[in-house]
Structure 1
Amino acid sequence: MERIDTDVLVIGAGSAGLSVAAGAVQMGARVVLLEAGKMGGDCLNYGCVPSKALIASAKTAYAMSHASRYGIANVVPQVDYAAAQDHVAGVIAQIAPVDSQERFEGLGVRVIREFGRFVSDTEVEAGDHRIRARRVVIATGSSPLVPPIRGLDAVPYLTNETLWDVREIPAHLLIIGGGPIGLEMAQAHRRLGAIVTVIEGERALGKDDPELAEIVLEQVRGEGVEIVEGAKAEEVRGTAGSLEVEVEDGRVFKGSHLLVAVGRKANIQDLDLEKAGIETSKSGIKVDAHLRTTNRKVYAIGDVAGGLQFTHVAGYHAGVVIRSILFGLPSSATTRHIPWVTYTQPELAQVGMTEAQAKDAHGDKVEVVRFPYTHNDRAIAERKTNGLVKVMVVKGRPVGASIAGEQAGELINLWALVIANKMKMSQVANMVAPYPTIGELNKRAAGAYFSPRLFESDVVKKVVGFVQKWLP
């Protein structure tokens, strides 16, 4: 067995692990990276990248069949689902070299394609290698959560890991789970020609602002997706091509394919964490504000840390631990400035507190600023006026922003910057946005915050009157 001593050992080559490995090795640390599966992890191979690629195909099909509002005849798109899946595979292949073993070995990382497990509080074994590291970073990510639904283990079903292997469009796709993954895939498959039914035990898009979520749900329903809320799946039965989902009130939904999209679980099995004195929680590995586990030499980042499960959070976590591991600097993680986006059309984006959360935390100190897409000239020109920007403000500083509408995922970037740096609404109002852009919505939202203060204030009017009276 080969014994290896290193500065940093990274377990997992997904977004979080690759970010740590690349950053650490380029700043002079010795780095060993373990990965038994595919380089790039879930995001590249099964999650963010393939889903957005399929959504792009679906958007194109939808645009073709809804072109008349622009003076162009509608056409019925001839969808080749296998070709769309080839497009997905092509996108993955184009991005894959950035995450490849060859690239990271070129940077100087020792890449070992084996699964790692702890054998002590300071050592990890991977295949024929035993590795001792000054610091260990666990970045093993997450996998689709398969709920304990009666009969599910006896029928064929899809997850985000297996969906990309399907070569024929499902005739009727049943989706258990009305969160972001479920709704994104529901709309995409409906646009590509499938009948789609979404079965959600509580409220669809339940983690987002209900008012803005409804804008998205109304559009998705309008395109023909059946969304059933308050319907907890209790039993699944049938065979390939003929499946049934029975919910707790006795209703039965029939379809040809079943996609399970109820969430994710942290990949902590088989790590033998107890041998390293590492405690776990219900959602993953127990970490402190510095992302350190109960073993002070071991960190856990990304999905496995049990918090927000997004690729950009994984990258953010990597930066936090790099500062701590390489420079010995105090570095903590927070979620108050972390945005997220559901890539339906219209998109749904959030950063910071929702309206309900802000009011719970700050009471009547919260001002809710609203600006609709209907007042944006670019949105009007492109016939994409179905949307709303909502900003929660406390003492002149935004504490949250919720956006539903065209390019919401791009618009939320500004509010993430503002909240991360504790900026004021006045600084957003001072920005000059090019005309006509969707981005003007953010500036107009800031303007809506100041409008009543300027245009409805008797004091302002008196001051202006006084100045006008005495100006030469």
Structure 2
Amino acid sequence: MDLLDTDVAIIGAGTAGMSAWRAARAHTERVVLIEGGVYGTTCARVGCMPSKLLIAAAEAAHAVRGAARFGVHAGPPEIDGEAVMRRVRAERDRFVGFVLETVEGWPESLRLRGEARFIDAHHLQVGEHTRVRAARVVVATGSSPYVPPGWRETLGERLLLSDQVFDWQTLPASVAVAGTGVIGLELAQALHRLGVRVRLYGRGGRIGPLSDPALQARAREILAEELPLCADAGDLQLRREGGEVVVGAREGGQLHEERFDYLLAATGRRPNLASLGLEHTGLELDERGVPLHDRYTGQAGDGHVFIAGDAAADHPLLHEAADDGRIAGDNAGRYPDLRAHPRRAGLTVVFSDPQMMIAGRSHAELCAAGVDFACGEVSFEDQGRSRVMLKNRGLLRVYGERSTGNFLGAEMIGPAAEHLGHLLAWSAQRGDTVRQMLDCPFYHPVIEEGLRSALRELNRALHMGPPPVRRCMDCGPGA
């Protein structure tokens, strides 16, 4: 048994772990990075990048089908499933290669391979080969797809997880997708547009992360126009018959059954903490088994253990994981001289079509905090540039504080949400007033003019501006 003594041990070499390693190394050379699986982040291997590759192929197919609306006739698209998945895998492997090149370029003496578990608060067992004594520990073990009880036993190899999709050699004929969160929504729509027979099942009627009731209602309407959707199916009744999965769901009191080649479980992700031996650390855990921690320092409890990324189960997004790792690594390196780090404004994007976004504080967060706020909104049905591109579906709602006129946040389903979301998150982080945002330039004709319309409505609702011009096509004098 090898023995290793170090100042900082980082468990997990994903986005948060890599960020923590760099930050801790600014304070001490005695840092070890421990990884029990393959190198390569969740984003690069099974998340952000491969899913966007699949979505890009789906968008190309959808554009061909919709070309006739512009008077351009291309005929129905012919989708080569093997070629689609070959590009997804090749580009995915390229992105993963960049991560591998980085991690494997770090000194081998500072990297350990094997599953880590706490023996006590300061000692880790790594595999069967090494015991590590660490003055401080950063837990950055990531997350894994959650599967409801009994599904594996019932469906066997006909059950798929989102992590498996990007290793497909070709596209299946049919897939039931369970889960209307970000992962389920993006994959279901992409597969549907690539010619796979799909039905998306959810519970409670909720679609994606949007919390504003008006936007939830609009999202259900828009997506149901294209995608076979059962958003309020309750508990699915599943059985396997030969090589097929039979999915039963109740709609309007009636049980409807449909057969598919596979069921894709997109029912959320859970932190990888169960086998870590946290019970030996003395840390207080919440009902999910996550150590209670300070998001601004990364510190779990009041001791020498820190937590970052998806393991912390706060905001499972790449930029948040990178920030988590930087904060936890910095404080683990400088411990006990802890520093609180300000967090960036919230920003969430869903790459559905239309896209969704939440920037700054969400409707639900503002309501829960008891903030006195007003709303402004714009529909994209008649927004000039959106109609030009035939992307005129969706709704944007913006929120401002009544007492100050400060911009607080926004939620949206509509065109270019990924770009508008960035503009709005930046304004929220700077603490802009709605008036200051309206004083910024808006070119013509652009989708951002729709944002201006929503901000004008919000300024009026705050009693800080004149009534906006109705049905303005975003052009003309004084626009």
Report SS of the residue matched to 2:149. coil
Q: Distance in 2 between matches of 1:99 and 1:439?
A: 35
Report SS of the residue matched to 1:251. strand
The offset of 1:38, in angstroms, is 2.0
Bigger Cα displacement from structure 2, 50-59 vs 154-163:
154-163
Counterpart in the other structure of 2:323: 316
Query: Structure 1 pair 213/80, CA: closer, same or farther in 2 (3 Å)?
Result: farther
Report SS of the residue matched to 1:259. strand
Q: Distance in 2 between matches of 1:3 and 1:297?
A: 20
The offset of 1:105, in angstroms, is 4.4
Query: Structure 1 pair 426/152, CA: closer, same or farther in 2 (3 Å)?
Result: farther
Segments of structure 2 that go 5 or more residues without pairing to the other structure are 469-479
Counterpart in the other structure of 1:159: 161
Query: Structure 1 pair 163/6, CA: closer, same or farther in 2 (3 Å)?
Result: same
The offset of 1:151, in angstroms, is 7.1
Alignment of 1:286 with 2:291, yes or no, is yes
Alignment of 1:426 with 2:435, yes or no, is yes
Equivalent residue in structure 1 for 2:275, among 270, 284, 289: 270
Q: Please give the residue correspondences for 1:320-339 in structure 2 after superposition, counting only pairs within 5 Å.
A: 320-327=327-334, 328-331=337-340, 337-339=345-347
Query: Structure 1 pair 411/178, CA: closer, same or farther in 2 (3 Å)?
Result: same
Counterpart in the other structure of 2:354: 346
Amino acid at match of 1:139: A
Bigger Cα displacement from structure 2, 214-223 vs 407-416:
214-223
Counterpart in the other structure of 2:476: none
Q: Are 1:151 and 1:235, in contact at CA under 8 Å, matched by a contact in 2?
A: no
Query: Structure 1 pair 135/427, CA: closer, same or farther in 2 (3 Å)?
Result: farther
Counterpart in the other structure of 1:22: 22
Q: Distance in 1 between matches of 2:47 and 2:420?
A: 22
Alignment of 1:442 with 2:444, yes or no, is no
Pairwise CA RMSD of aligned residues? 2.6
Q: Are 1:240 and 1:256, in contact at CA under 8 Å, matched by a contact in 2?
A: no
Q: Please give the residue correspondences for 1:211-222 in structure 2 after superposition, counting only pairs within 5 Å.
A: 211-222=214-225
Report SS of the residue matched to 1:233. coil
Segments of structure 1 that go 5 or more residues without pairing to the other structure are 458-472
Q: Distance in 2 between matches of 1:23 and 1:184?
A: 33
Q: Distance in 2 between matches of 1:254 and 1:51?
A: 25
Report SS of the residue matched to 2:59. helix
Amino acid at match of 2:272: N
Alignment of 1:455 with 2:462, yes or no, is no
Bigger Cα displacement from structure 2, 445-454 vs 152-161:
445-454
Counterpart in the other structure of 1:84: 84
Q: Distance in 2 between matches of 1:450 and 1:154?
A: 54
Counterpart in the other structure of 1:75: 75
Amino acid at match of 2:447: I
Counterpart in the other structure of 1:97: 97
Q: Distance in 1 between matches of 2:169 and 2:246?
A: 22
Counterpart in the other structure of 2:471: none
Q: Are 2:20 and 2:330, in contact at CA under 8 Å, matched by a contact in 1?
A: no
Query: Structure 1 pair 284/92, CA: closer, same or farther in 2 (3 Å)?
Result: farther
Q: Are 2:151 and 2:159, in contact at CA under 8 Å, matched by a contact in 1?
A: no
Q: Distance in 1 between matches of 2:40 and 2:302?
A: 27
Q: Distance in 1 between matches of 2:136 and 2:445?
A: 51
Q: Distance in 2 between matches of 1:173 and 1:342?
A: 21
Report SS of the residue matched to 1:67. helix
Bigger Cα displacement from structure 2, 236-245 vs 324-333:
324-333
Q: Are 2:298 and 2:331, in contact at CA under 8 Å, matched by a contact in 1?
A: no
Report SS of the residue matched to 1:455. coil
Counterpart in the other structure of 1:461: none
Counterpart in the other structure of 2:477: none
The offset of 1:356, in angstroms, is 5.0
The offset of 1:284, in angstroms, is 4.0
The offset of 1:360, in angstroms, is 5.0
Q: Distance in 2 between matches of 1:254 and 1:212?
A: 32
Query: Structure 1 pair 436/456, CA: closer, same or farther in 2 (3 Å)?
Result: closer
Alignment of 1:199 with 2:201, yes or no, is yes
Amino acid at match of 1:351: A
Q: Please give the residue correspondences for 1:247-258 in structure 2 after superposition, counting only pairs within 5 Å.
A: 247=249, 250-258=255-263
Q: Distance in 2 between matches of 1:385 and 1:179?
A: 23
Query: Structure 1 pair 42/431, CA: closer, same or farther in 2 (3 Å)?
Result: same
Q: Are 1:234 and 1:247, in contact at CA under 8 Å, matched by a contact in 2?
A: yes
The offset of 1:242, in angstroms, is 1.5
Query: Structure 1 pair 66/340, CA: closer, same or farther in 2 (3 Å)?
Result: same
Amino acid at match of 2:448: G
Q: Distance in 1 between matches of 2:280 and 2:174?
A: 47
Q: Distance in 2 between matches of 1:8 and 1:357?
A: 35
Amino acid at match of 2:391: K
Amino acid at match of 1:340: T
Q: Distance in 1 between matches of 2:123 and 2:413?
A: 48
Q: Distance in 1 between matches of 2:232 and 2:150?
A: 16
Amino acid at match of 2:303: R
Q: Distance in 2 between matches of 1:398 and 1:196?
A: 40
Q: Distance in 2 between matches of 1:240 and 1:268?
A: 36
> For this pair of structures, how many residues does the alignment match?
453
Q: Are 2:84 and 2:170, in contact at CA under 8 Å, matched by a contact in 1?
A: no
Query: Structure 1 pair 330/64, CA: closer, same or farther in 2 (3 Å)?
Result: same
Amino acid at match of 2:276: L
Q: Are 2:356 and 2:414, in contact at CA under 8 Å, matched by a contact in 1?
A: yes
Q: Are 2:457 and 2:467, in contact at CA under 8 Å, matched by a contact in 1?
A: no
Identity fraction in percent = 29
Report SS of the residue matched to 2:292. coil
Q: Distance in 2 between matches of 1:171 and 1:419?
A: 44
Counterpart in the other structure of 1:45: 45
Counterpart in the other structure of 1:173: 175
Normalising by structure 1, report the TM-score: 0.88
The C-alpha deviation readout for 1:66-94, integer Å capped at 9, x for no partner, is 11223311421111112211111122222
Bigger Cα displacement from structure 2, 418-427 vs 136-145:
418-427
Q: Distance in 2 between matches of 1:123 and 1:240?
A: 49
Normalising by structure 2, report the TM-score: 0.86
The C-alpha deviation readout for 1:84-107, integer Å capped at 9, x for no partner, is 11111122222123321x423434
Query: Structure 1 pair 440/115, CA: closer, same or farther in 2 (3 Å)?
Result: farther
Q: Are 1:66 and 1:74, in contact at CA under 8 Å, matched by a contact in 2?
A: no
The C-alpha deviation readout for 1:351-378, integer Å capped at 9, x for no partner, is 3443354345446x31101123345433
The offset of 1:241, in angstroms, is 3.6
Q: Are 1:149 and 1:233, in contact at CA under 8 Å, matched by a contact in 2?
A: no
